[in-house]
Amino acid sequence: MAGNFWQSSHYQQWLLDKQDLVRERQHDLQILSEEEYQKLFIFFSNFIQILGEHLKLRQQVIATATVYFKRFYARNSLKCICPLLLAPTCVGLASKVEEFGVISNTRLISTCSTVVKNKFSYAYPSDFPYRTNNILECEFYLLENLDCCLIVYQPYRPLIQLIQDIGNDEQLFSLAWRVVNDSLRTDVCLLYPPYQIAIACLEIACVILGKDHKNWFAELSVDIEKIQEITRYIISLFELWKTYDEKKDIQALLAKMPRPKQSPSR
């Protein structure tokens, strides 16, 4: 499904505006500050990334899973489904859609257990609590809430084209690629078309490496203001990272996070 972004469900249904996000998050933001909310999403994006890497998934699949995850919570409170359950569910669904091949639920769960134990014990001291039937049930809710929109456009492909145009530069490419990965820890994938995100990430990479491609950027016909907005999201992520020690803070945040109630409240 390449080359048809403007007719895609991604463009038509899933480029949200800032106001929408603020409104939908109101419930969660009564309990969490904006910064705490963002820190939780950084944490779960990392979780999806590492889970995906353990399953040897391509970055495209990992990114799609992350977008599913963010889309679900863009419409629902964190309390609706436990993110530790939704995250692997997104990974499983994305790998089926991206035709990576079916990861058996047994393998998905055992990899989750390993990852939680070896990489995230600072957040979850106990074992990974979910089983196959939890994932299966969750998958239907996920698909329903995504309104069956499963094809997600990512900035990677436009980034490859931009790099070719700017003149192949391996160092620049690999840094820009990593900035795109970082951008998944912000809201930009919910707010901006992927080609704009690719341009912003490339620009950031140029600045970091001190490469002057101003003339080249000037010739792109693109909404500069949008690029700057995206850049601000990513820069503020970098700022947050400088002062934030996830290992120290995350348990308190997870404890504070709104959680599902399994029986009716009276």
Partner 1 sequence: MMDYEFKMKTSNERTKVEDLFEFEGCKVGRGTYGHVYKAKRKDSTEKDGSVKDYALKQIEGTGLSMSACREIALLRELKHPNVINLIRVFLSHNDRKVWLLFDFAEHDLWHIIKFHRAAKANKKPLMVAKGMVKSLLYQILDGIHYLHSNWVLHRDLKPANILVMGEGNERGRVKIADMGFARLFNAPLKPLADLDPVVVTFWYRAPELLLGARHYTKAIDIWAIGCIFAELLTSEPIFHCRQEDIKTSNPYHHDQLDRIFNVMGFPLEKEWEDIRKMPEHPTLIKDFKKSNYTNCSLIKYMDRHKIKQESKAFHLLQKLLLMDPTRRITSEQAMQDPYFMEDPLPNSDVFAGCPIPYPKREFLTDDDQDDKSDANKRQNQAANVSLTYSFYLRH
Token pair belonging to 168 = 């192949």
Among 16, 80, 166, 240, binds partner 1 (CB under 8 A): 80
Q: Which amino acid is at 257?
A: M
Question: Binding string, 182-201, against partner 1, x = CB under 8 A?
Answer: --------------------
Q: Which stretch binds partner 1 (CB under 8 A): 29-37, 44-52, 96-104, 173-181?
A: 96-104
Q: Which amino acid is at 12?
A: Q
**Distance of closest approach, residue 257 Cβ to partner 1, in angstroms:** 13
Q: Which stretch binds partner 1 (CB under 8 A): 17-25, 110-118, 143-151, 176-184?
A: 143-151
Q: DSSP per residue over 29-50, as a string?
A: HHHS-HHHHHHHHHHHHHHHHH
Among 54, 75, 79, 226, binds partner 1 (CB under 8 A): 79
Among 6, 26, 148, 242, binds partner 1 (CB under 8 A): 148
CA distance 137 to 183: 30
CB 88 within 8 A of CB 44: no
**φ, ψ (nearest 5 deg) of residue 125:** -65, -25
Nearer to partner 1, 6 or 243 (CB): 6
Nearer to partner 1, 235 or 258 (CB): 258
Tally of residues, the chain: 266
State yes or no: residue 60 binds partner 1 (CB under 8 A).
no
State yes or no: residue 263 binds partner 1 (CB under 8 A).
yes
Helix axes 246-256, 34-54, angle to 10 degrees: 110
Phi-psi region of 167 (alpha: psi -120 to 50; beta: other; left: phi over 0): left
Contacts with partner 1, residue ranges (CB under 8 A):
1-4, 7-9, 76, 79-82, 85, 93, 96-97, 99, 101-102, 129-130, 134, 136-141, 143-144, 148-151, 260-265
